[in-house]
Structure 1
Amino acid sequence: MNLSSILLTIISRMDGERTIYNGLHLIRGKKSGQTLQDVEYYNLKAFFGIWPKLAIELYDEAVDQLIKSDYLSIQENSIVHVTEIGKKLSSTLPTYHFNGWDYRGNEIVFFSRLSLTIQTISNFRVGSKLFIPTERDYEVQIFVKNILYKQPINNPSFSIEVMEELQYYIESSRMVDLHKVILLHRLGGYGITGWTWNQLSESLKLNVVTIRLYFIEGLHLLLDAIEISGKAQFLRKLTDNIKVSTYLTDSATKTKRYFEKGLTMSNIAEIRRLKMSTIEDHFAEMSINDSYFPLNQFVKNEDIRAVINMAHKLKTKRLRLLKNEFNHLSYFQIRLILGAMSGGEEDGN
């Protein structure tokens, strides 16, 4: 796994329909209307927000590697295409196990909680109650303090139970050995600090970017395993609010509340003092994420079916191409249809 291979996977699904930087926005988890629609349109939820602070320099480097290897080509209109040899390579790439749509960078918060918890328990186990926390984030410190407040952390058996629970979830997840090595070496304890990225890179003979990607994927696998188990054990407490509770952005959620009260789009725009284009973005989000979105309040059923059929026929989700086929429909109406086609109702009922 490396950034170039992940990028090739993403672009191969958007082949010929988006610019090169749409992939960057997706990996960073940008909450724009375009990016949120791309996630659904091209089945890219796994990669959404897996690296919120990915440096553009690293991204450009990965792009350059793909172009120099003749896997990608960029047209004059900035649209990126996958070449024939790029398509062959993408078909051989492994299945990734990211769950970015659900965690959106919060897996790092979970790891910070886990790391400080392990450090605290291991220090208390040997009677060392004064130590410098490896996690400096105040919210993480308060969270862990509250979680451990009523736990028997002075009892050696408690630390054993936590370690056994962590081992159980690691083993029951789909982690490979490399995931486990990276995760466990990043953790510290009494008198031990977690390894740096550079230390891991030197030991594993892998570049730091690849190691970080394995680390993120491993955390997603661990979190999924904890959730699936359904057991009310200690580590589950550390996952509180890590998985997103709603897939709508906060602003779209507010717009939805007004819509459910019977207000029109223009009313909502006036009350919220937002541009109509922003309100349209919110409704496009709703069409994607709400299976009960009333699509036929905005578009006739026959138009819904016609657009869906044309999208399949042309093998495209580009608004401009579809708008050329349906001049009587607005771009907004087509966006709603594509959104419902991806995640909501396809028949408008």
Structure 2
Amino acid sequence: MKLSSILLQIIGKMHGERSKNAALYILRGKKSGQTLSDVKYFNLKPYFSILPKVEVEEYEEAIHLLQKEHLIEIKDQLVFITEIGFEQLQQLPSTHFKGWSYRGKELLFFRRLSLVVQTVSNIKNGNRSFLPIESDRTIQIFVKRFFMNRPLADPEFARQIGKELIKAIVQSGMSEEQKLIFAYRLTGYKNAAMTYDQLSIELKRSPSSIRLLFLESLHRLLPIVEHKKEFPIMSSIAADIRIVEDLTESATATKKLYLQGLTMEEIAAKRNLKLSTIEDHFVEMAIHDERFPIHSFVTERDVQAVRLKMKELQTKRLRVLKDEFQALSYFQLRLILSINTGGQDD
């Protein structure tokens, strides 16, 4: 699994509609109105925020590789997938990312799990004085509470954790390589976790490939253990990891004020934010709420006209649509786009 392969899948969906950096913003989980809209417009929820710390240099290198292999081309700042690229895309194995559902919190789950495994492993071997793998106080407190009223010193408890984890891993459908990476990333008694760089040398893969494989393994594992009676321990560790609110925190605050009867201008003033930011929030609301009152902002006639033009021109580019409907604002066009698209849940 390579970054370039992930990019090819993203670019394949946005084919000719966005600039090359649009995919970077999706991978990083940028919370701008445009990126959040693109995630929904192009059904890219699986890839949202899967690489929040990806460097520009690494991203550019992957883009250059795709260009060098003639899989993509850039024209007028827009990225297109070539015929060869489409052929390559059909041959890529399916991925199982659920970026939108976790948005980085899958790593919080693993950090909790790592400290639980380290603690149980050391206690089982009679070592009560060890340096915790996690220095984050929030995670330490979570794990301490997790162990409350649980038989930490009982060897059977340690075996139960192991049984649950192994069963969940098997059910998750991870590849053998992913199982190996997952195991090596855990810390046990006198056994430190391996870094991505160390695993890269061990498995003869790039660090970014190791990172992607590991992340996908977590996205495979979490849906298995969440809220299932057969995994009581794992589901406790996974508590509150899945994102249940589609709206960003700031958009949620805006929505509350809107429901109280405030206008967009009043909300902007009250929250000391730019009107354009509030517009972003309203587009978010329209994307995720089928009951959003879009006709308070644009007529049904305009909605249908824009939809027909989108179909005729086969485009979702705002600039193109703006040229066709100069009387409509970019905000109104984005609202229409937001209710004109379906999307995956993950």
TM-score bucket of the superposed structures, by smaller chain? over 0.9
Greater Cα shift, 295-304 or 176-185: 295-304
Kept in 2: contact 1:4–1:66 (CA 8 A): yes
Kindly provide the amino acid, as one letter, of the partner of residue 245 in structure 2.
T
Q: CA deviation at 1:229?
A: 3.4
Question: Per the alignment, in what secondary structure is the counterpart of residue 341 of structure 2?
Answer: helix
Structure 1 gaps of 5+ residues are 345-349
Q: CA deviation at 1:116?
A: 0.6
**What whole-Å deviation, never above 9, does each CA across 1:62-89 have from its counterpart, x for those lacking one?**
11111111112122x3211112211221
Kindly provide the amino acid, as one letter, of the partner of residue 278 in structure 1.
T
Q: CA deviation at 1:91?
A: 2.2
The match for 1:219 is 218
**What whole-Å deviation, never above 9, does each CA across 1:272-303 have from its counterpart, x for those lacking one?**
12211111111001011112211122122222
Question: Per the alignment, in what secondary structure is the counterpart of residue 237 of structure 1?
Answer: helix
Q: CA deviation at 1:327?
A: 2.6
Q: Which whole-Å CA distance do the structure 1 matches of 2:249 and 2:342 have between them?
A: 19
Q: CA deviation at 1:149?
A: 2.1
Kindly provide the amino acid, as one letter, of the partner of residue 73 in structure 2.
S
Kindly provide the amino acid, as one letter, of the partner of residue 67 in structure 2.
I
Kept in 2: contact 1:291–1:343 (CA 8 A): no
Give the RMSD, CA atoms, in angstroms: 1.5
Q: CA deviation at 1:324?
A: 2.2
Q: Which whole-Å CA distance do the structure 1 matches of 2:233 and 2:36 have between them?
A: 34
Kept in 2: contact 1:70–1:86 (CA 8 A): yes
The match for 1:124 is 123
Kept in 2: contact 1:290–1:343 (CA 8 A): no
The match for 1:242 is 241
Kindly provide the amino acid, as one letter, of the partner of residue 292 in structure 1.
R
The reply to whether residue 154 of structure 1 matches residue 153 of structure 2 is yes
Identity score, percent: 47
Q: Structure 1 pair 95/230, CA: closer, same or farther in 2 (3 Å)? A: farther
Question: Per the alignment, in what secondary structure is the counterpart of residue 107 of structure 1?
Answer: helix
Greater Cα shift, 192-201 or 40-49: 192-201
Q: Structure 1 pair 248/175, CA: closer, same or farther in 2 (3 Å)? A: same
Kept in 2: contact 1:17–1:318 (CA 8 A): yes
Kindly provide the amino acid, as one letter, of the partner of residue 196 in structure 2.
W
The match for 2:82 is 83
Q: Which whole-Å CA distance do the structure 1 matches of 2:230 and 2:316 have between them?
A: 42
Q: Which whole-Å CA distance do the structure 1 matches of 2:22 and 2:243 have between them?
A: 23
Kept in 1: contact 2:228–2:235 (CA 8 A): no
Give the paired residue count: 343
Q: Which whole-Å CA distance do the structure 2 matches of 1:289 and 1:118 have between them?
A: 38
Kept in 1: contact 2:43–2:342 (CA 8 A): no
Q: Which whole-Å CA distance do the structure 1 matches of 2:187 and 2:92 have between them?
A: 34
The reply to whether residue 327 of structure 1 matches residue 287 of structure 2 is no
The match for 1:34 is 34
Spell out the pairing of 1:132-171 with structure 2 (5 A cutoff).
Answer: 132-171=131-170
The match for 2:60 is 60
The match for 2:24 is 24
Q: CA deviation at 1:329?
A: 1.9
Q: Which whole-Å CA distance do the structure 2 matches of 1:248 and 1:337 have between them?
A: 18
Q: Which whole-Å CA distance do the structure 1 matches of 2:132 and 2:15 have between them?
A: 47
Kindly provide the amino acid, as one letter, of the partner of residue 161 in structure 2.
V
Q: CA deviation at 1:126?
A: 2.0
**What whole-Å deviation, never above 9, does each CA across 1:13-43 have from its counterpart, x for those lacking one?**
1111111111111101010111100100001
Kindly provide the amino acid, as one letter, of the partner of residue 16 in structure 1.
G
Kindly provide the amino acid, as one letter, of the partner of residue 8 in structure 2.
L
Greater Cα shift, 4-13 or 196-205: 196-205
Q: Structure 1 pair 228/142, CA: closer, same or farther in 2 (3 Å)? A: closer
Kindly provide the amino acid, as one letter, of the partner of residue 142 in structure 1.
I
Q: Which whole-Å CA distance do the structure 1 matches of 2:285 and 2:205 have between them?
A: 42
Greater Cα shift, 102-111 or 267-276: 267-276
Taking structure 2 as the reference length, the TM-score comes to 0.95
The match for 2:208 is 209
Q: Which whole-Å CA distance do the structure 1 matches of 2:332 and 2:66 have between them?
A: 36
Spell out the pairing of 1:173-188 with structure 2 (5 A cutoff).
Answer: 173-188=172-187
The match for 2:199 is 200
**What whole-Å deviation, never above 9, does each CA across 1:66-123 have from its counterpart, x for those lacking one?**
1111112122x32111122112211222211000001111111111110110000111
The match for 1:347 is none
Kept in 2: contact 1:288–1:343 (CA 8 A): no
Question: Per the alignment, in what secondary structure is the counterpart of residue 74 of structure 1?
Answer: strand
The match for 2:109 is 110
**What whole-Å deviation, never above 9, does each CA across 1:124-147 have from its counterpart, x for those lacking one?**
112211111112222111111111
Q: Which whole-Å CA distance do the structure 2 matches of 1:275 and 1:343 have between them?
A: 29
Kindly provide the amino acid, as one letter, of the partner of residue 137 in structure 1.
D
Kept in 1: contact 2:225–2:231 (CA 8 A): no
Q: Which whole-Å CA distance do the structure 2 matches of 1:82 and 1:256 have between them?
A: 38
Kept in 2: contact 1:287–1:343 (CA 8 A): no
Greater Cα shift, 246-255 or 227-236: 227-236
Q: CA deviation at 1:343?
A: 4.9
Kindly provide the amino acid, as one letter, of the partner of residue 282 in structure 2.
F
Kindly provide the amino acid, as one letter, of the partner of residue 58 in structure 1.
E
Question: Per the alignment, in what secondary structure is the counterpart of residue 73 of structure 2?
Answer: strand
The reply to whether residue 265 of structure 1 matches residue 264 of structure 2 is yes
The reply to whether residue 73 of structure 1 matches residue 57 of structure 2 is no
